[in-house]
Amino acid sequence: MSSAADGLRRARVLVAIFVTFLLGGTAAAFALTEQLKLERSPVLRTEVGKLLGPNCHCRQHGHVVIGFVLRKPDVLTVAIVDSHGQVVRTLLSGGYRRGHVRFVWDGRNDFGGVVSAGTYKPRLHLAHDHRTILMPNAIRVDPIAPTVALASVAPRAFSPDFDGRRDLVRVRYRASEPSRGLLYVDGRPRVRSKRYVTAGVVKWHGSGLGVGVYRLTLRAVDLAGNLSKPIPAGVVRIRFVTVGPHVLRAKTGARVGFLVRTDARRFAWRLGQRQGTSRPGLLVLRTPSAPGRYRLVVTANGHSARTLVIVS
Q: In the prediction, which pLDDT does 207 show? A: 84
| CA contacts within 13 A on the Cβ side of 262 | 28
pLDDT of res. 26: 47
Mean pLDDT of 188-208: 95
Residue 34 is predicted with a pLDDT of 45
d(CA 79, CA 127): 14
- For residue 294, give Cα distances in angstroms to 248, 277, 289, 311: 10, 18, 12, 8
- Is the model's pLDDT at 106 over the cut of 90? yes
Tens digits of per-residue pLDDT, 22-31? 444 444 444 4
Average pLDDT estimate for 151-170: 92
Q: Name residues whose C-beta falls within 8 Å of residue 181's C-beta, 6 or more positions apart in sequence.
A: 148, 171, 173, 175, 192, 193, 200, 201, 202, 218, 219, 220
pLDDT of residue 163: 84
Contact at 8 Å (CB) between 165 and 264? yes
pLDDT at 208: 83
User: 7 pLDDT band (50/70/90 cuts)?
Assistant: low
pLDDT at 198: 97
Residue 247 CA to residue 236 CA, distance in Å, equals: 25
Please state whether 62 falls in left (phi above 0), alpha (psi between -120 and 50) or beta: alpha
Backbone torsions φ then ψ of 14, nearest 5 degrees: -65, -40
| Residue 37: pLDDT over 70 | no
Residue 271 is classified by DSSP as E
- Give the tens place of pLDDT for each residue, 229-279: 999 999 999 999 999 999 999 999 999 999 999 989 999 999 999 999 999
Predicted confidence at residue 5, as pLDDT, reads: 53
Contacts of 286 (CB under 8 A, 6+ apart): 253, 254, 255, 256
**Which pLDDT belongs to residue 43?**
84
- Mean of pLDDT values over 11-33: 46
Domain 43-141 has CATH 2.60.40.4070: yes
**Is the pLDDT confidence value at 13 over 70?**
no
Cα 275 to Cα 5, 185, 205, 263, 297: the distances in Å are: 134, 38, 32, 20, 9
* pLDDT of res. 90: 96
The band of 12, judged by pLDDT with boundaries at 50, 70 and 90, is low
CATH no. for 241-311: 2.60.40.10
The mean per-residue pLDDT over the stretch 122-134 comes to 94
pLDDT of residue 290 exceeding 80, the answer is yes
Helices (DSSP H) in the chain: which residue ranges?
A: 2-38
| pLDDT of res. 31 | 42
Q: How large a percentage of the chain has pLDDT more than 70? A: 88
Q: H-helix or E-strand containing 41?
A: none
CA–CA distance, 27 with 24 (Å, rounded to integer)? 5
* Structural fold of domain 148-238: Immunoglobulin-like (2.60.40)
Bond prior to 178 in cis (omega within 30° of 0): no
pLDDT digits (tens, 9 = 90+) for 185-196: 999 999 999 999
